[in-house]
A and B are shown apart, each in its own frame.
Chain A
Amino acid sequence: MTNAGGSAPGGQDFEQVLDHSDARVAQFQRRRTALDRVQHLLHNNPTLVAVFVLLLSLVAFGIVAGERFFSAFNLSLILQQVSIIGMLAAAQSLIIITAGIDLSVAAIMVLMSVIMGNLAVNMGVPTPLAILVGFAGGAAAGAMNGLLITKVKLPPFITTLGTWSIFFALNLWLSGAQSIRSQDIDANAPLLKFFGRSVNVAGAQITYGVVLMIALFVLLWYMLNYTAWGRHVYAIGDDKEAAEMAGIRTDRTLVSVYALAGLVCAIAGWASIGRVGSISPQSFYEGNLQSITAVVIGGISLFGGRGSILGALFGALIVGVFQSGLRIAGVDVLWQVFAIGWLIIIAVAIDQWIRRVSA
């Protein structure tokens, strides 16, 4: 456009005055209160809340619980404790960013660890192959969720509520409700415990599982922010219909998201064997809800399309810091649960407030 005003011969009479009009367009100079600014800042970076809460709680518990909390060893212990839920939260973030929810993440994880253990420990399958079968199973389980949601058009909540039960039942059946003992894993398939190994860095015990969790978060963050696929995932969570009309193959992308989440759960399943030491079909029963907790506290909107996957890492860490700090301070475990409950409610309230930001 070269012609800024309305000097076109076809213009209507009342438009002639446009030639003399102010050429400036929409200026952004509304007066803003400090609170408005905070709201805008958080709107653009919802993860900041989680970062802030994490730092604040570290300082607070450092003061209250002192040395025993703030030691390199204890801090690395917190990392270890959140590593498995952290990975589940990474998988859960992918789904929640698409405005879905996955109640089956922990069930997929445990089922795949049972499959890996059964194959490698009880049936003598080479461990790397057993692990690959577990990965494929995780991706397939996730893809099943995705296909039910996109092709059969079931709501994610109900779909994954159903598959949660299905995967849990399969898991009890395959394992005969029996755990695989630590000694048997060591004797037959020590590779399954790979992620339980650790290196000592200045008094901190860094397990390979912790490194894996962080690597997964960084990789997924890159995929979500620097690839077309990632932009499509956000667009779908934002407004699925608009994304479809704008030329995104939404169903295909959604199935890929659920399958990838399932794969991440299977990877977490492998890492969980190293963390727990044994393979128990009854473990991580609360993993689904804990992963959602981490995601929500991390500032990822349950309405989709908003928030950074790194927030889920911070959310998981916040939960770990609270649990560790309160325990070291000698507070009854019920108050840990109580505190986490309030964190969830406050996080969702903040999300609601941020989303009401005025244009």
Chain B
Amino acid sequence: MTDRNVPLVQARGIVKRYGHVTAIDHSDFELRHGEILAVIGDNGAGKSSIVKAICGAIQPDEGEILIEGKPVRFSSPIEAREMGIEIVYQTLALSPALSIADNMFTGREIRKPGILGKWFRMLDKPAMERFAREKLNELGLMTVQSIKQPVETLSGGQRQGVAVARAAAFATKFIIMDEPTAALGVKESRRVLELIKEVRARGIAIILISHNMPHVFEVADRIHIHRLGRRLCTIDPRDYTMSDAVAFMTGAKVPEEAAATV
């Protein structure tokens, strides 16, 4: 049993530079068990960068990252994934010409049982298609013609649905979602928000990056405000208004000392 008082993710003093640009500037980060942590901040504040550092998509130049209290140093997101950490990238990371089912299982394909799988390494396409269809139905996000259709024939929102379904289907520890509702309509956004809450109900934590304040204030347990490459403060959405949050993240208002310790 893991100690639920130890944060799920704890990062200290993370730095990432791209030449002269400092994308992350000595930033801290904390995700607790079973919570939805929203991350907000201006464009270019470094939100995507810090979550990428946590999941191994980029390697920070300085700082340390602890997962359930143990230091980790992922050299690629594959290693994070093996620990049960899933990411929905802002760019989705789908292969357009491949089918929905192929995309759901990229890098973790199921092989046929017996000799066909063992010696001929044959994929169990029916099993993967069944699973993919099940997950998409669960998400209720879309009706697609066929699970075999290439992702490039889907609308932007449907593609986002595939990426979210993939993460939700495989995560066991936490999911990072980088603007998962950015391309979605009102109805589809609502479903993703419901899905996020459902995932939390299964005990899986979520890091949600979003520019949509109503969404953030609706689902978040805590809000991490990122400004100029670092964590400015973390607030409880019940104690602050959306205007406060926007004021903090744009620098119009400075949070009091106490807020930073929520």
Contacts and interface: CB of A to CB of B under 8 A. Distances in A.
Nearest to A243: B95
Interface residues of B, number: 53
B143 A26 contact: yes
Interface string B210-239: 000010001100000000000000000000
B78 A247 contact: yes
A334 interface: no
A6 interface: yes
Given A227-B122, A231-B109, A4 B214 contact: no
Nearest to B149: A44
Contacts of A176: none
Contacts of A6: 187, 190, 194
A109 to B, nearest CB: 27
A314 to B, nearest CB: 20
Interface stretch (A11-19, A69-77, A129-137, A277-285): A11-19
B121 A227 contact: yes
Interface residues of A, number: 43
Contact of A28 (B97, B98, B145): B145
A33 interface: no
Contact of A247 (B98, B107, B145, B187): B107
A154 interface: no
Contacts of A5: 190
A243 B241 CA distance: 40
A21 B107 contact: no
Given A15-B186, A305-B97, A235 B218 contact: no
Interface in A122-140: none
A200 interface: no
Given A12-B218, A25-B143, A245 B186 contact: no
B103 interface: yes
A228 B111 contact: yes
A149 to B, nearest CB: 19
A91 B144 CA distance: 36
Contacts of A26: 142-144, 155, 158
Contacts of A242: 91-95
Interface in A1-39: 1, 3-6, 8, 10-12, 14-15, 18, 21, 24-28
B38 to A, nearest CB: 14
B22 interface: no
B214 A12 contact: yes
14 contacts: A1-B191, A4-B140, A4-B191, A6-B190, A8-B190, A15-B186, A15-B190, A28-B145, A226-B120, A228-B123, A232-B107, A234-B98, A245-B77, A246-B106
Interface of A: 1, 3-6, 8, 10-12, 14-15, 18, 21, 24-28, 44, 222, 226-229, 231-232, 234-235, 238-239, 241-249, 305-306, 357, 359
Given A227-B123, A235-B106, A247-B106, 13 more contacts: A6-B187, A232-B107, A235-B95, A235-B98, A239-B95, A241-B93, A243-B106, A245-B57, A245-B87, A248-B106, A249-B76, A305-B97, A305-B98
